[in-house]
Structure 1
Amino acid sequence: MATGSMDFDGSIAFSVRYESETEATGTMPIQNGILNPFGSVHAGAMIWFADVVATTLALQGTMPTPGMSGFPLAINLSANLLSNSKDGTLHATAQFVKHGRRVSTVRTVVTSDDGRQLLELTSTHIPA
């Protein structure tokens, strides 16, 4: 068995917007820092992006601050990676499945520029 090491040097840049009490959106340009060795978006980068958009919705317009009370901590993530993309921009839309005082569940869909569904993430959040 061969051994070796690989160095990864990248960053994840994206923007997120709280649209309303029922929806948050985000965009993430596909760039070198988020690509896997095959040239498509790394699954972890796509899931991270979707999780941040879902958390933005769960925050309900509140800006997060270090150590804040009530941060909507994700306690469960279920990701279905349906497809992938090598260029363009990823688009995410998060909407509540259930919005409760203690437990909220959010469905976040990530699509490509041409509207192809790439990821469906369901996350459950509780106030920390």
Structure 2
Amino acid sequence: MDREAWLKRADKAITAHEEGTPQLFLYELMGFEFQYDEEAETVAIKAPVTEITFNPVGFIHGGILHYLADTAMGHLCAAFLQAPAVSLELKTQYFSSAKDGHMHALASFKKRGKTIQFITCSVSDDEGNLLSETTGTFYRLPQSR
């Protein structure tokens, strides 16, 4: 692990941090790159596989894949429901891992409701191999009046 590179990355994440935006500390630290497709109603996140994403046995930690999917699905709700939403339930299945390259998350609506949303998010590697798939149920928060 390159200490100086990670200190610079952490400093950049602290400086960029802005609540309520994609510029949150962890997003920046982990190198999340967001893409919103309005026509397809999807959110994609690209994130590098680095040493901080590994568990002690050298695989991408399941919590990292889960966090990446939860983030993509939450941003999907915020972008296309014009209101924030919170996860009520998430289920992640793990299929493979990667040692380098990038993780690519793609979130889309399975079924949109007035208050409850059903969403799926797949996470793949650079070659398109499926790393995990998460299904989630999200609650759209009421708009303040």
TM-score of the aligned structures, taking structure 2 as reference length: 0.71
Q: Which has the bigger relative contact order, CA under 8 A and spacing at least 6?
A: 1
Runs of 4+ in 1 over 4 A off after TM superposition: none
Determine which structure has the larger strand proportion and give its number: 1
Asked whether the 8 Å contact 1:16–1:56 carries over to 2, the reply is no
Paired residues for 1:70-89 under 5 Å: 70-89=83-102
Structure 2 counterpart SS, 1:114: coil
**Cα distance, 1:50 vs structure 2:** 0.8
* Alignment correspondent of 1:127: 140
* Alignment correspondent of 1:66: none
2:55 pairs with 1:30: no
* Alignment correspondent of 1:110: 123
* Alignment correspondent of 1:19: 37
**Cα distance, 1:12 vs structure 2:** 2.9
Determine which structure has the larger helix proportion and give its number: 2
**Cα distance, 1:99 vs structure 2:** 1.1
* Distance (Å, rounded) in 2 between the aligned partners of 1:71 and 1:59: 5
| Matched residue count | 113
Unpaired stretches in structure 1, ≥5 consecutive residues = 1-9, 64-69
Asked whether the 8 Å contact 1:110–1:118 carries over to 2, the reply is yes
Identity %: 27
